[in-house]
Amino acid sequence: MDRLGVYIHIPFCARKCPYCDFYSTRYNKETVSLYVDALIRNFRAFSLENGKKKIVSIYFGGGTPILLSPSQFDLLLSSLSECFSFSEDIEITTEANPSMSDKNKFSEYRKTGLNRISFGVQSFIETELRSLQRTHTSEGAIRAIENAYSAGFDNISADIMLGIPHQTKESLSSTLETAGNLPLSHISAYMLKIEEETPFNSEEIIKTLPDDDTTAELYLHTIETLEKKGFLQYEISNFAKKGRQSRHNLLYWKSSDYIGFGAAAHSCYLGSRFAVPSDITSFTENSIQGKIITDENPCDFSEYAMLRLRLTEGLSLKEAEEKFSFDKETILHRAEKFRKAGLVNVSDDVISLTKNGFLVSNGIISDLVL
């Protein structure tokens, strides 16, 4: 275990987006303060038990972590630095809602040690933002990115959503064009997935979505356009300027360890995968956060391969053989039909998915390694 990351879940939102099924609750000042205390308690408990581990990344996800004040970030990060040893080039990211665009506030956040912001932009088209019931405007998002940049954040990511209500190739082109002209170093382009327990899971919304064939076109168009703008794809949904891949997300895809703090946070640590219960009260009231094992057989070859195949660099069967035993020939044999169909590349025992392959990656991954 050479690289370790820390994930901190901040399950508060001013308002819940209708497509989101992550755990979050309505923002409440008192609860947030209790929550921050509980986080710090847990950092200390962890370091008491495991020693002062070296970490390469800290990621504040949500929810809406930017609802924490700069002083709360300061508190959390200074506590983290007592409990963990930070690598020199540590990446400290927070997710942010672009409805906050105040330059001075960004400067304050920057001073806490945060060095990367990931904005939930989703689209630069007003009608699309409204259909997603986002609280920010296109103009606000542009201002937020520019102000964060001039406040000293030189590593900024934006989330763009594909396959949203009424989206067309033209509207997407316009969003990508706008994104390309902003001081961004990273873009995540996710295809909207309708989750069962969300308000978006309704006939009325579903009928406004681009069909699968159109969404596939949107995806391919995104890859092509972003490449021209200097954003190279490194994972199914992730694109970065040279050297600016999200280190934190790479920990996930490369089966590295990460420790999650906070209600609903997930961890992968010492060969086991577990999560904290999705319950703020139990998190703030208990001295140590709860732990639910999520997978009885974690970190096996299937999981490793499933994650590696999401990366453009692909799955090196040679490297995998050093860690796991599996039938390499069977996998290569299975890959052959996909290679013929232009869905995967195979060279030197490395299997990697092509752009079209990424689009149907579930089927390919299942067939190859599950």
Site residues, another protein (CB under 8 A): 7, 9, 22, 61, 162, 188, 190-191, 193, 212-213, 215-216, 219, 236-237, 249, 252, 258, 260, 264-268, 273, 275, 294-295, 298, 302-303, 306-307, 337-338, 341, 343, 358-366, 370
What is the closest distance, in whole angstroms, from the C-beta atom of residue 107 to another protein in the complex?
Answer: 28
Cross-strand bridge partners of residue 259? 6
Burial tier of 29 (Cβ tally within 10 Å: 0-12, 13-18, 19+):
exposed
Least distance (Å) between residue 363 CB and another protein: 5
What residue type is assigned to position 263 of the chain? A
Cβ-based nearer residue to another protein, 88 or 296: 296
C-beta closer to another protein: residue 88 or 340: 340
Closest CB to another protein among residues 11, 98: 11
Find, among 221, 117, 243, 120, the residue nearest to 177 by Cα. 221
Q: Which is nearer to another protein, 99 or 361 (CB)?
A: 361
Pick between residue 142 and residue 353 the one whose CB is nearest to another protein.
353
Pairing of strands 257-261, 4-10: parallel
In angstroms, give the least distance from the CB of 156 to another protein: 18
User: Cβ 181 to another protein, closest distance in Å?
Assistant: 24
CB of 191 vs another protein, minimal distance in Å: 4
Distance CA 88, CA 111 (A): 17
Q: Are 150 and 187 in contact (CB under 8 A)?
A: no
Give helix then strand counts, H and E, for the chain: 15, 17
CB 268 within 8 A of CB 289: no
List of E strands, 73-210:
85-96, 116-122, 156-162, 186-191
Closest to another protein by CB, 107 vs 272, is 272
Q: Which is nearer to another protein, 237 or 284 (CB)?
A: 237
| CB 150, min distance to another protein, A | 29
Measured from the CB atom, the residue of 105 and 355 that comes closer to another protein is: 355
Q: Is 168 exposed, middle or buried (0-12, 13-18, 19+ CB in 10 A)?
A: middle
Distance CA 258, CA 248 (A): 9
Beta-strand (E) ranges in 114-153? 116-122
Nearer to another protein, 149 or 200 (CB): 200
DSSP secondary structure letters along 283-324: HHHSSS---EE--SS-S-HHHHHHHHTTBTT-EEHHHHHHH-
Shortest Cβ 269–another protein spacing (Å):
11
Is the backbone peptide bond immediately before 63 cis, with ω within 30 degrees of 0?
A: yes
Distance separating alpha carbons of residues 181 and 252, to the nearest angstrom: 29
Smallest distance from another protein to CB 327, Å? 18
Q: Tell me the closest approach of the beta carbon of residue 182 to another protein, in angstroms.
A: 22
The two beta strands, 25-26 and 12-13, are parallel
Do the Cβ atoms of 118 and 96 come closer than 8 Å? yes
Instruction: Give yes or no for a contact between 113 and 82, defined as CB atoms under 8 angstroms apart.
Output: no
Nearer to another protein, 43 or 252 (CB): 252
User: In the bound complex, what is the minimum distance in angstroms from residue 216's beta carbon to another protein?
Assistant: 4
